[in-house]
Structure 1
Amino acid sequence: MAVVKPVEKSTLKPQEAWHQARLIPTTGIGGQDEQERRATSSLLAVMRAVPQFGRAVLFHLGAPAGRIDTFIEVRFLDADDKTVIPDGAVVVERGKTRWVCLVEVKTAGAALRPDQVERYLDIARAKGFDAVLTLSNQITASPAESPIAVDPKKTKKVALRHLSWWQVMTEARVQHEHRGIADTEQAWILGELIAYLDHEKAGAGGFDDMGDAWVSVRDGARQHSLRLADKGVRDVASRWEQFVQYLALGLCQTLGRNVEVAWPKKLDPAERLNESVRLIVEQGQLAAVVRVPDAAAPMELSADLRTRLFITSVEIPAPREGRAKTRINWMIRQLKDAPDNLRIETRYPNAKETVSATIKQAREKPEMLLFAADPQREPRGFRLLLGREMGSKRGKVAGSFVNESKAQAIDFYRTIVQGLRPWSASAPKLPGQVEPASA
């Protein structure tokens, strides 16, 4: 007689294998227009529903504090009686103050069109509105910089501002994960926007490619054949700026602090780009500096297209007290978790050349970093650098420039920069108290 085994009850709850319902679903996005419409409506609705997030976004546009109202597909007639339909509008009101901004949105790889944005600037000026906001996956150094060129006359009375979707995602994550949303329902709504924007179907990703000219410019730099007038060089320089901003915003999302790229303040965007082009052509390099609040020093990034190395570095001033070897040991002690191939360059006063060794060598023999001609000479500072073979592929896949460089920069910050502490002098000490003589 066959024995029937009892059916074991599963400890797995059935809902654990189900797809969770989403406030903003990604299903049913049929094309570019639908993708842009859904992204616009989702963002503007959440800006109104979660005022803390809305104010964080509008802060970049110079909007006043107040009650936020948002609208999509607003309609106007232009000077030729033709219908003009911006993707959305934001209205902020507080007492008698009223601030209005028109919104133009692009998703995925779609680029902003100058003629379209200029029409919205004309409408805004005619209606007495304050600003026009463009949103796309193009990343700029600041909201005041636009990825497109428009007639300067059209921005005299109306501010043109730009935000990337990566910047929007950064603000959402900082408010949700680091600042905290007190209202639980608002926190859930903002979390749903993050989940939506994070999905590939939303078309609201970060930086993902160095462009069509990347391979030819990279190879041309190695062959010393690039020219200042080469169009591809300018495109790579522009994409390098976007990549570094993308990296800084990514660190901001993780750390919850305002991480910034330290571009030269004296240069306007066009001059800054010209300098990057010149650096590529003359030295075959891309360079930038990233500042993290309260870090011991800025993190320097350099992509050497000729040697195919991506170099991350940080420079730390040496202590101003103690013998030369004592100051060197102070630096070595802070690098206990550093990889063996981290290089230390020690700078000395009145000497052009540095004294260099790997951290592995310095741990075993610290005197290697002393100034050979004068071992008593006190070091001025230390430069810690790590160079790895540069990713060669395009896109964000494993082995690509974007993927490998981002991973190296984050790893360098985690293992080196965040643990560094600048030297500080000890507080002056009073002499020991003298006991009064006994009678």
Structure 2
Amino acid sequence: MAEEWREARLIPTSGIRGAAEQEARATSALLSVLSIVPSFAHAVLKPCGAPLGRVRANVESFVEVAFEDKKSKRSPRPDGLIRVSRGSTTWTALVEVKTESNALSKEQVESYMDVARERDFDAVITISNEIPPVLGAHPLSLSGHKLRRTPVYHFSWIRLISIAVMEKEVHGIEDPEQSWILGELIRYLEHEKSGALDFTDMGPSWTPVVNAVRQGIVRKDSDDVIDVAGKFDGLIRYICLKLGQRLGVEVSPRLTRRELENPEERTRGLAEELEKDYTMSAKIHIPGTVADLQLRCDMRARQISTFAVVPASGQARNQTRVNWLLRPLEESLTDVVIEVHGPRRSHAAGIAEFREDLREVLPPGFPEITRFTVSQMHPMGLQKTVAGRSSFITSVIGAVDEFYVSILQRQRPWSPPAPKYKPAAGEQPAEQETFSSEEIASGEDLSKEGSE
């Protein structure tokens, strides 16, 4: 029966047996597509220092490459090797791949760094389901001395999928065969058997930290607290990547310069917040929105607060400014709190109160509104994996998606109307010709009628 036939795929998921075969197939599929689709190779390898362009690139890829080192009696075998040639320049990188929940090994990666240095290769690339807290950071604490000689670049599988989706769906690929091949890679990596997992687990430190919050004895220097802080930032990066896929833009965590330069600074800050307030917070920058999407996870109250600080319009009356904020929001939206801010004063109330009568909501003599804080509360799960009914990961993802769809994406930056032309003294404004719909539909040159 035709209904039972399976479509032939370029990269089949059937027949995968064990982690070794899973990693070998994922490595081969990824590296081969890098050598076939130049724009995808450019998006992945250019930030690593490879000398290539978006349209033309000479990319060669190899899997299970072996190196013999008689001196130290070791035989390193990286999962892959990428070589990019452009004119007289050649760039080479070793590739180490992990799938499922398998973690990268510091000893193994540093041994490949030694191989790269000995053979004058340019970089080492690691790929796994581990998501570092900051873009450009590595999930392992590698030797600084070795990193100065051989840079190491890390990609999570979800980031590679996001890059592939952006290239295919947003930027577009003119060659239909290349577009289809990249689509086959996306389809394969998104399949549950590929080993390229979604963010599904907050790690073994999650439960001890939840218990510590209940007892009120969270310590910022605890290994468990530091690990959970890093995992939380990994979750935020995952949310940014998934949201970016849906929106077709580069969504990213909003971090300070110090946090970008030193990822440990961000982790320490989260650990301190967790000790002091039992909360973890983040900001997400989405291009084209009026404000950053912010969230705060209250571990003790088991609530997630999503909010945005929206600049008020430049209209003169407070009523007009509130109307401008509320107009895009649906009437069914009731679980929203709005806080209005003016010089040295602020006042908060539910959205229903603002819709009824602003004069009864604001205190007498409230100054000109300069900005609004629009917030929404969501229940927070505490189970560490997505398999649980009350999953922390699922609840945070759902809260971000709901706030963006129902509130943030509907707001538009206010812009003043065009200045009105004022005629000089004694000058009469020019009369504008008007035509009926029948005259316009006739197709005749109406500009001649006035001169006849």
Given the two structures, how large is their TM-score scaled by the length of structure 1?
0.91
Q: Give ranges in structure 1 of 5+ residues lacking alignment.
A: 1-13
2:447 equivalent in structure 1: none
1:93 to 65, 85, 92: 85
Please state whether the residue corresponding to 2:48 is helix, strand or coil.
coil
Q: Distance in 1 between matches of 2:17 and 2:304?
A: 40
2:5 to 18, 35, 52: 18
Please state whether the residue corresponding to 1:54 is helix, strand or coil.
helix
Are 1:395 and 2:385 matched, yes or no? yes
| Alpha-carbon offset, residue 348 of structure 1 | 1.8
Please state whether the residue corresponding to 1:101 is helix, strand or coil.
strand
Are 1:64 and 2:45 matched, yes or no? no
| Alpha-carbon offset, residue 369 of structure 1 | 4.4
1:194 to 169, 186, 198: 186
Say if 2:64 and 2:78, in contact at 8 Å, map to a contact too. Answer: yes
2:197 to 195, 205, 219: 205
Q: Distance in 1 between matches of 2:380 and 2:245?
A: 25
1:305 equivalent in structure 2: 299
2:218 to 211, 214, 226: 226
| Distance change in 2, residues 1:222/1:423 (3 Å) | farther
Question: Where do residues 32-71 of structure 1 align in structure 2 (5 Å cutoff)?
Answer: 32-65=19-52, 66-71=57-62
Say if 1:143 and 1:163, in contact at 8 Å, map to a contact too. Answer: no
Q: Distance in 1 between matches of 2:93 and 2:199?
A: 26
Say if 1:347 and 1:379, in contact at 8 Å, map to a contact too. Answer: yes
| Alpha-carbon offset, residue 109 of structure 1 | 0.5
1:243 equivalent in structure 2: 235
1:40 partner letter: T
Moved more, 168-177 or 222-231: 222-231
| Alpha-carbon offset, residue 338 of structure 1 | 6.4
2:420 equivalent in structure 1: 429
2:433 equivalent in structure 1: none
2:24 partner letter: R
Q: Deviations over 1:217-253 (max 9, x none)?
A: 1242243211122221111101101100000000111
1:291 to 273, 285, 300: 285
Q: Distance in 2 between matches of 1:237 and 1:297?
A: 25
Question: Where do residues 325-404 of structure 1 align in structure 2 (5 Å cutoff)?
Answer: 325-336=319-330, 339-351=333-345, 354-370=346-362, 372-375=363-366, 377-397=367-387, 398-404=389-395
Say if 2:353 and 2:361, in contact at 8 Å, map to a contact too. Answer: no
Q: Percent identity?
A: 37
| Distance change in 2, residues 1:97/1:337 (3 Å) | farther
Q: Deviations over 1:331-379 (max 9, x none)?
A: 122323562111111112113xx31112122112223442x1423x111
Moved more, 168-177 or 75-84: 75-84
Are 1:414 and 2:439 matched, yes or no? no
Question: Where do residues 72-87 of structure 1 align in structure 2 (5 Å cutoff)?
Answer: 72-78=63-69, 79-87=71-79
1:170 equivalent in structure 2: 162
Say if 1:338 and 1:415, in contact at 8 Å, map to a contact too. Answer: no
Say if 1:61 and 1:143, in contact at 8 Å, map to a contact too. Answer: no
Q: Distance in 2 between matches of 1:71 and 1:303?
A: 45
Please state whether the residue corresponding to 2:131 is helix, strand or coil.
coil
Please state whether the residue corresponding to 2:368 is helix, strand or coil.
coil
Q: Distance in 1 between matches of 2:413 and 2:238?
A: 27
Q: Distance in 1 between matches of 2:324 and 2:390?
A: 36
| Alpha-carbon offset, residue 313 of structure 1 | 0.7
1:159 equivalent in structure 2: 151
1:292 partner letter: I
Give the superposed CA RMSD.
1.7
Q: Distance in 1 between matches of 2:377 and 2:370?
A: 23
Q: Deviations over 1:205-227 (max 9, x none)?
A: 12111122223312422432111
1:6 equivalent in structure 2: none
1:19 partner letter: R
Say if 1:143 and 1:161, in contact at 8 Å, map to a contact too. Answer: no
1:47 partner letter: L
Given the two structures, how large is their TM-score scaled by the length of structure 2?
0.89
Say if 1:60 and 1:143, in contact at 8 Å, map to a contact too. Answer: no
Q: Deviations over 1:389-422 (max 9, x none)?
A: 1022221234311112112211211111111112
Moved more, 143-152 or 392-401: 392-401
| Distance change in 2, residues 1:279/1:143 (3 Å) | closer
Please state whether the residue corresponding to 2:258 is helix, strand or coil.
coil
| Distance change in 2, residues 1:127/1:337 (3 Å) | farther
Q: Give ranges in structure 2 of 5+ residues lacking alignment.
A: 429-452
| Distance change in 2, residues 1:302/1:59 (3 Å) | farther
